[in-house]
Protein backbone atom coordinates (compact mmCIF):
# COMPACT_ATOMS: atom_id res chain seq x y z
CA UNK A 1 0.00 0.00 0.00
CA UNK A 2 0.96 3.64 -0.32
CA UNK A 3 2.59 5.65 2.49
CA UNK A 4 0.28 6.23 5.44
CA UNK A 5 -1.17 9.73 5.49
CA UNK A 6 0.44 11.60 8.37
CA UNK A 7 -0.28 14.98 9.93
CA UNK A 8 3.28 15.99 9.02
CA UNK A 9 2.76 15.18 5.33
CA UNK A 10 -0.45 17.21 5.35
CA UNK A 11 1.36 20.19 6.89
CA UNK A 12 4.08 20.06 4.25
CA UNK A 13 1.50 19.86 1.47
CA UNK A 14 -0.50 22.71 3.01
CA UNK A 15 2.60 24.90 3.14
CA UNK A 16 3.21 24.20 -0.54
CA UNK A 17 -0.41 24.92 -1.49
CA UNK A 18 -0.36 28.15 0.52
CA UNK A 19 2.89 29.17 -1.12
CA UNK A 20 1.49 28.47 -4.58
CA UNK A 21 -2.07 29.79 -4.32
CA UNK A 22 -1.88 32.26 -1.45
CA UNK A 23 -4.06 32.34 1.67
CA UNK A 24 -7.24 33.47 -0.11
CA UNK A 25 -7.25 30.73 -2.76
CA UNK A 26 -5.72 27.76 -0.95
CA UNK A 27 -8.46 25.23 -0.14
CA UNK A 28 -8.60 21.96 1.73
CA UNK A 29 -9.54 20.32 -1.55
CA UNK A 30 -6.30 21.64 -3.06
CA UNK A 31 -4.31 20.13 -0.21
CA UNK A 32 -6.03 16.76 -0.62
CA UNK A 33 -5.45 16.90 -4.38
CA UNK A 34 -1.73 17.58 -3.83
CA UNK A 35 -1.58 14.52 -1.58
CA UNK A 36 -3.66 12.34 -3.89
CA UNK A 37 -6.35 11.68 -1.26
CA UNK A 38 -9.91 12.82 -0.71
CA UNK A 39 -10.44 15.94 1.34
CA UNK A 40 -12.36 13.87 3.91
CA UNK A 41 -9.04 12.23 4.86
CA UNK A 42 -7.51 15.58 5.72
CA UNK A 43 -10.35 16.13 8.20
CA UNK A 44 -9.34 12.93 10.00
CA UNK A 45 -6.09 14.67 11.05
CA UNK A 46 -7.24 18.28 11.51
CA UNK A 47 -10.71 19.15 12.79
CA UNK A 48 -11.10 22.32 10.70
CA UNK A 49 -9.41 24.29 8.00
CA UNK A 50 -8.53 26.92 10.62
CA UNK A 51 -6.78 24.31 12.79
CA UNK A 52 -4.77 23.13 9.79
CA UNK A 53 -3.65 26.64 8.95
CA UNK A 54 -2.83 27.31 12.58
CA UNK A 55 -0.61 24.22 12.73
CA UNK A 56 1.29 25.41 9.65
CA UNK A 57 1.72 28.85 11.20
CA UNK A 58 2.95 27.42 14.48
CA UNK A 59 5.59 25.33 12.68
CA UNK A 60 6.81 28.42 10.90
CA UNK A 61 6.92 30.52 14.08
CA UNK A 62 8.70 27.77 16.01
CA UNK A 63 11.47 27.82 13.40
CA UNK A 64 11.84 31.57 13.99
CA UNK A 65 11.96 31.05 17.76
CA UNK A 66 14.76 28.49 17.41
CA UNK A 67 16.67 30.75 15.03
CA UNK A 68 16.37 33.72 17.39
CA UNK A 69 17.70 31.64 20.29
CA UNK A 70 20.86 31.01 18.33
CA UNK A 71 21.62 34.72 18.06
CA UNK A 72 22.34 35.07 21.79
CA UNK A 73 26.02 35.07 22.75
CA UNK A 74 26.64 34.19 26.42
CA UNK A 75 29.96 36.06 26.37
CA UNK A 76 28.62 39.33 24.97
CA UNK A 77 27.30 42.25 27.05
CA UNK A 78 23.54 42.48 27.50
CA UNK A 79 23.48 45.66 25.43
CA UNK A 80 25.28 43.97 22.53
CA UNK A 81 23.10 40.90 22.83
CA UNK A 82 19.92 42.98 22.80
CA UNK A 83 21.07 44.99 19.83
CA UNK A 84 22.16 41.89 17.89
CA UNK A 85 18.93 40.08 18.72
CA UNK A 86 16.74 42.99 17.56
CA UNK A 87 18.91 43.47 14.47
CA UNK A 88 18.60 39.80 13.55
CA UNK A 89 14.82 39.83 13.93
CA UNK A 90 14.61 43.00 11.85
CA UNK A 91 16.92 41.66 9.12
CA UNK A 92 14.99 38.41 8.94
CA UNK A 93 11.63 40.12 8.57
CA UNK A 94 12.91 42.73 6.18
CA UNK A 95 14.59 40.17 3.89
CA UNK A 96 11.54 37.94 3.96
CA UNK A 97 9.37 40.91 3.04
CA UNK A 98 11.59 42.09 0.17
CA UNK A 99 12.65 38.70 -1.23
CA UNK A 100 9.40 36.75 -0.89
CA UNK A 101 6.67 39.37 -0.58
CA UNK A 102 3.86 36.93 -1.36
CA UNK A 103 4.99 34.39 1.20
CA UNK A 104 5.43 37.19 3.73
CA UNK A 105 1.88 38.40 3.02
CA UNK A 106 0.61 34.84 3.33
CA UNK A 107 2.04 34.38 6.81
CA UNK A 108 0.85 37.84 7.80
CA UNK A 109 -2.68 36.72 6.96
CA UNK A 110 -2.25 33.36 8.69
CA UNK A 111 -1.01 34.96 11.91
CA UNK A 112 -3.81 37.53 11.98
CA UNK A 113 -6.44 34.84 11.35
CA UNK A 114 -5.82 33.14 14.66
CA UNK A 115 -6.67 34.57 18.04
CA UNK A 116 -4.07 32.57 19.97
CA UNK A 117 -1.10 32.53 17.58
CA UNK A 118 -0.13 36.19 18.05
CA UNK A 119 -0.08 35.78 21.85
CA UNK A 120 1.98 32.61 21.48
CA UNK A 121 4.51 34.31 19.21
CA UNK A 122 4.71 37.54 21.21
CA UNK A 123 4.94 35.72 24.51
CA UNK A 124 7.86 33.67 23.29
CA UNK A 125 9.85 36.55 21.80
CA UNK A 126 9.22 38.92 24.70
CA UNK A 127 10.37 36.07 26.94
CA UNK A 128 13.67 35.98 25.05
CA UNK A 129 14.04 39.75 25.48
CA UNK A 130 13.27 39.35 29.19
CA UNK A 131 16.14 36.86 29.49
CA UNK A 132 18.53 39.33 27.86
CA UNK A 133 17.32 42.13 30.13
CA UNK A 134 17.60 39.88 33.20
CA UNK A 135 21.17 39.01 32.23
CA UNK A 136 21.91 42.73 31.98
CA UNK A 137 20.39 43.38 35.39
CA UNK A 138 22.45 40.51 36.85
CA UNK A 139 25.69 42.07 35.59
CA UNK A 140 24.49 45.54 36.73
CA UNK A 141 24.71 46.74 33.12
CA UNK A 142 20.96 47.47 33.08
CA UNK A 143 18.67 48.97 35.68
CA UNK A 144 14.98 48.08 36.00
CA UNK A 145 12.63 47.17 38.81
CA UNK A 146 10.40 45.02 36.62
CA UNK A 147 12.12 42.87 34.00
CA UNK A 148 8.92 41.59 32.40
CA UNK A 149 7.38 45.05 31.96
CA UNK A 150 10.67 46.41 30.66
CA UNK A 151 11.04 43.55 28.18
CA UNK A 152 7.53 44.28 26.91
CA UNK A 153 8.48 47.97 26.63
CA UNK A 154 11.54 47.06 24.54
CA UNK A 155 9.29 44.99 22.29
CA UNK A 156 6.68 47.76 22.03
CA UNK A 157 9.29 50.44 21.33
CA UNK A 158 10.68 48.42 18.39
CA UNK A 159 7.32 47.45 16.85
CA UNK A 160 8.07 49.55 13.76
CA UNK A 161 10.87 47.15 12.93
CA UNK A 162 9.04 43.85 13.29
CA UNK A 163 5.28 44.39 13.09
CA UNK A 164 4.14 43.54 9.55
CA UNK A 165 1.82 46.56 9.50
CA UNK A 166 4.98 48.68 9.17
CA UNK A 167 6.59 46.51 6.46
CA UNK A 168 6.21 49.15 3.77
CA UNK A 169 8.52 51.44 5.75
CA UNK A 170 11.28 48.82 5.70
CA UNK A 171 12.12 49.71 2.11
CA UNK A 172 13.09 53.24 3.12
CA UNK A 173 16.84 53.71 2.47
CA UNK A 174 17.33 55.31 5.91
CA UNK A 175 15.50 52.59 7.80
CA UNK A 176 18.73 51.19 9.29
CA UNK A 177 19.54 54.63 10.71
CA UNK A 178 16.08 54.81 12.24
CA UNK A 179 16.58 51.34 13.70
CA UNK A 180 19.95 52.31 15.19
CA UNK A 181 18.48 55.48 16.68
CA UNK A 182 15.60 53.65 18.37
CA UNK A 183 17.76 50.81 19.66
CA UNK A 184 20.35 53.26 21.00
CA UNK A 185 17.61 55.20 22.76
CA UNK A 186 16.22 52.01 24.28
CA UNK A 187 19.58 50.60 25.37
CA UNK A 188 20.54 53.98 26.82
CA UNK A 189 17.25 53.95 28.71
CA UNK A 190 18.06 50.55 30.18
CA UNK A 191 21.45 51.90 31.27
CA UNK A 192 19.91 54.99 32.86
CA UNK A 193 22.17 56.68 35.42
CA UNK A 194 25.16 54.53 34.51
CA UNK A 195 28.46 55.50 32.94
CA UNK A 196 29.01 52.94 30.13
CA UNK A 197 32.52 52.00 31.28
CA UNK A 198 31.68 51.93 35.00
CA UNK A 199 30.51 48.75 36.69
CA UNK A 200 29.62 50.05 40.16
CA UNK A 201 26.32 51.57 41.30
CA UNK A 202 25.64 55.32 41.14
Partner DNA sequence: GGGCTGACAGATATTGAAATCTGTCATCCC
Partner DNA sequence: GGGATGACAGATTTCAATATCTGTCAGCCC
User: Quick one: which H or E segment has residue 22?
Assistant: none
List alpha helices for 3-141, DSSP H: 7-21, 28-35, 39-45, 49-69, 78-99, 101-113, 117-138
140 binds a second copy (CB under 8 A): no
Residue among 4 and 198 whose Cβ is closer to DNA: 4
User: Residues near 174 by Cβ (< 8 Å), separated by ≥ 6?
Assistant: none
Out of 41, 48, 149, 172, the only residue in the binding site for a second copy (CB under 8 A) is 149
Residue among 22 and 164 whose Cβ is closer to a second copy: 164
Residue 157: name its binding partner from DNA, a second copy, none (Cβ under 5 to 8 Å by kind): a second copy
165 binds a second copy (CB under 8 A): yes
User: Residues near 4 by Cβ (< 8 Å), separated by ≥ 6?
Assistant: none
157 binds a second copy (CB under 8 A): yes
Residues 25-44 that bind DNA (CB under 7 A): 25, 27-30, 37-41, 43-44
115 binds DNA (CB under 7 A): no
Instruction: Choose one: 15-23, 65-73, 87-95, 187-195; the region binding a second copy (CB under 8 A).
Output: 187-195
- How far apart CA 198 and CA 49 sit, in angstroms, is 56
- How far apart CA 129 and CA 143 sit, in angstroms, is 15
116 binds a second copy (CB under 8 A): no
Site mask for DNA (CB under 7 A), range 146-165, x = bound: --------------------
47 binds DNA (CB under 7 A): yes
Residue 122: name its binding partner from DNA, a second copy, none (Cβ under 5 to 8 Å by kind): none
In whole angstroms, how large is the CA radius of gyration of the chain? 21
Contact 17, 53 (CB under 8 A): no
Out of 51, 156, 171, 172, the only residue in the binding site for a second copy (CB under 8 A) is 156
Half-sphere exposure of 36 toward its Cβ, with a 13 Å CA cutoff?
Answer: 4
**7-21 and 101-113 helices, crossing angle to 10°:** 120
Residue among 50 and 181 whose Cβ is closer to DNA: 50
50 binds DNA (CB under 7 A): yes
In three-state secondary structure terms, 70 is coil
Residues contributing to the site for DNA (CB under 7 A): 1, 4-5, 24-25, 27-30, 37-41, 43-44, 47-50
Amino acid sequence: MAEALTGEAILVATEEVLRRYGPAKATVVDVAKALGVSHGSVYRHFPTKAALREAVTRRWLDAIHVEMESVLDPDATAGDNLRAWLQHLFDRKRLSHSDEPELFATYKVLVSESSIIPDYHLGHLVGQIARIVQAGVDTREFVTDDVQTTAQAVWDATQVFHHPAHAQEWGNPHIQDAFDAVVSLVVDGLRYNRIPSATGDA
